[in-house]
Amino acid sequence: MCRPPPSAKTSSPVVSLKEFIVNLPQLREPRNSVNHNRAYAQFVEPEINRHGHLESIGTIFLTNRECPFHCTMCDLWKNTLRETVPAGAIPRQIQTAIEELPPFTSIKLYNSGNFFDAKAIPQSDLPTIAKIVQRYSDCIVENHPKLVSHRCIEFAKQIAPAQLEVAIGLETCHELSLQWLNKGMTLRDFATAVEFLHAAKIETRVFLLLGLPDLTAQASLEWTLRSIEFASSYGVKCFSIIPTRPTMPQVAELVEQGRFELPTASTIESVMDQAIEMGRGRVFIDLWDAPSFFACEHCQSARLDRLNKMNLQQRILPKVQCNFCDARVQR
Ligand code: SF4
Ligand SMILES: [Zn+2]
């Protein structure tokens, strides 16, 4: 069961959704220079897998057409194209990246959108992609609930014996925030998609935001935990928490106006401690750009190191004590 709402005062979104949507096309520029011959990024990193073992995962960020959804917070469009890539380009990107990376055992194919969006990944390429990824233990792709369909099941069969896992951006179970985020889905859509995937023995993980409009940093933390409970109640066992960064100009503006509380070092550490304690499955805190949230030069690296180890070990480690910032907080 989900816990009760942490604050009854989390009323209507503070900024008109229309205000944002109208401006989104103009805001979606400038883009980075990417081309369909290459994945735009790739790396191998350790991650604890669904069996509780540490393994190496190769993450390949595919270059393809931009996502048709226009989520308010999303800046993934920066590394996308306006047009669909030619057939054969995506398998080539994957193969080239694999050849350039050190060996790894599971693969993430992240495409700044939805893997089962036919305009992003030409569907005629799926059998070829499947042949390439069959050799791995797990293949993780990202996909919107509205694009969950029989295609996922077909691909899961094609990649066997590799296990398919679909990563879904739930972001939050706070319904008003979900509307403000312009996710183009309801909580019911999410639940239906996840149930469909689980019935086909496809694994799932969710992305959750820490930091939402119209919520204090503390309330947002509580909603992140509540969102873990919500997703867990539908059988999700892997949760990736992303501290919201003011990368989009409209979010930065809200922060300036005092209408958006960014996550703090303290809420980032607390959410990880409490999420692990809940025991609902694997929990990861996204540490990309995390130094910006940890301003104290005396303990920044120790705090980030602790969180990184908690990602890898999935247990709560002793808190970092700092005579400088801890003292400031207490005053
Ligand atoms: S569905 Fe995902 S990739 Fe598409 S706009 Fe939303 S957050 Fe970005
Ligand atoms: Zn400090």
Ligand 1: centre distance to CA 317 (Å): 33
CA of 207 to the centre of ligand 2 (A): 28
106 beta partners: 57
Ligand 2 centroid vs 323 CA: distance in angstroms?
Answer: 7
Ligand 1: nearest atom to the Cα of 171? 7
Report the pLDDT value the prediction gives residue 92, as an integer from 0 to 100.
98
Of all residues in the chain, the percent with pLDDT exceeding 70 is 90
Q: How confident is the model at residue 255 (pLDDT cuts 50, 70, 90)?
A: confident
The pocket of ion ligand 2, defined by CB under 5 A, consists of: 296, 298-299, 322, 324-325
Q: What is the pLDDT of residues 90-114, one digit of tens each?
A: 999 999 999 999 999 999 999 999 9
DSSP, collapsed to helix, strand or coil, labels residue 23 as helix
Angstrom CA distances, 329 to 265, 267, 294, stand at 11, 13, 13
User: Nearest bound ligand to CA 185?
Assistant: 1
Determine the Cα–Cα distance for residues 202 and 215; give it in Å rounded to an integer. 34
| Model confidence at 328: pLDDT above 70 | no
Please, which residues bridge with residue 164 across strands? 139
Task: Determine the number of helices (DSSP H) and then strands (DSSP E) in the chain.
Answer: 11, 8
Whose tokens are 């980030």? That residue is: 304
pLDDT of residue 326: 80
Residue 172 Cα, ligand 2 centroid: separation in angstroms?
A: 30
**203 contacts 166 by C-beta, under 8 angstroms:** yes
pLDDT at residue number 93? 98
Atom of ligand 1 nearest to the CA of 67: 4
Residues 277-305: tens digit of each pLDDT: 999 999 999 998 889 999 999 999 999 99
Residue 27 predicted with pLDDT over 70: no
Pocket residues for ligand 1 (CB within 6 Å)? 67, 69-71, 74, 76, 112-113, 144, 169
**Quick count: other Cβ atoms within 10 Å of Cβ 243?**
24
Nearest to 20 by CA among 238, 232, 181: 181
Query: Which atom of ligand 1 lies closest to the CA of 182?
Result: 6
pLDDT tens-digit readout, 127-149: 999 999 999 999 999 999 999 99
Q: What CA–CA distance (Å, rounded) separates 160 from 135?
A: 9
Dist CA 183 CA 74 (whole Å) = 10
Residue 82, number of CB atoms within 10 A of its CB: 9
First and final CA of the chain: distance in angstroms?
38
